[in-house]
Amino acid sequence: MLELFPAGFEEIEGADGIELVAYTDGRGEELIAQAFGGAQGADVAEDWEERWKAFHRGISIAGLWVGPPWEEPPAGATAVVIDPGRAFGTGAHPTTRVCLELLAELERGSLLDIGCGSGVLAIAGSKLGYEPVTAIDLDPQAVEAARANAIANEVVLEARLADALGGALPAADLALANITLEAVELLGPLLASRRAVTSGYLVSEQPELDGFRIVERRQREGWAADIWERESI
């Protein structure tokens, strides 16, 4: 369902199990039938254009509030306002939350966000005092969303289209990569950073990052994030 409807779908618990509901058209119904061997269609409620907003709620963590533009952040929190309709990354996923925790705790400096998605981590880093901040992604829509969200949050960062595995990466004091395990393990020789934070994989998985050693691991809801330091040469 995530692959078919990356913008979101609904889970409804019932006596016979969990029903997965996507707000879509005839083509989407065909895709569900092909993937699961059957689907049932029904007309949506008149307020369908607003109902999806109920599934995107703000979260508070480490003095930050990350949420959609139609919610009001709590008093005193540093707000990171993200449009959930633009690209992956709203702050709700456990790996995003643990990365936000680490950004709030680590020494400030320049920051490189690898696979930035909506820009939530890059924007949070900028608001926490990291400077300069560079965000890269392979998806043009993600780069566009990161730039738009940066403007909406009144922060200065550079978001650009780049293949993180296509060559040497921009230098930064801290490299942050909340991506897949396979991609993380290819980053080592490409990084020009003293420290790195990686996430996007399960607690049961242990990545290897060439040229770096793990100094700390954090866990949240079965997902892991690791802090790395470059090994002495």
Q: What is the mean pLDDT of residues 22-47?
A: 79
Residue 87: pLDDT above 60?
no
Q: How far apart are CA 87 and CA 148, in angstroms?
A: 11
> Residue 45 has what pLDDT?
67
Q: State residue 35's pLDDT score.
A: 87
Average pLDDT of the residues in 213-233: 93
Q: For residue range 135-158, what is the model confidence (pLDDT) as tens digits? A: 999 999 999 999 999 999 999 999
Residue length, the chain? 233
Q: Check: CB of residue 166 under 8 Å from CB of residue 135.
A: no
Paired with 114 in beta bridges are 136, 177
Q: What average pLDDT does the segment 86-91 reach?
A: 68
Rounded distance between C-alpha atoms, residue 173 and residue 230, angstroms:
11
CATH top-level class for 56-230?
alpha beta
pTM of the model: 0.78
For 9-31, what is each residue's pLDDT tens digit?
888 888 888 888 888 888 888 88
Q: Are strands 174-178 and 111-114 parallel, antiparallel or unpaired?
A: parallel
Sequence spans of domains, the chain: 10-52, 56-230
pLDDT in tens, 57-78: 889 999 999 999 988 999 989 9
In sequence order, the β-bridge partners of residue 224 are 201, 219
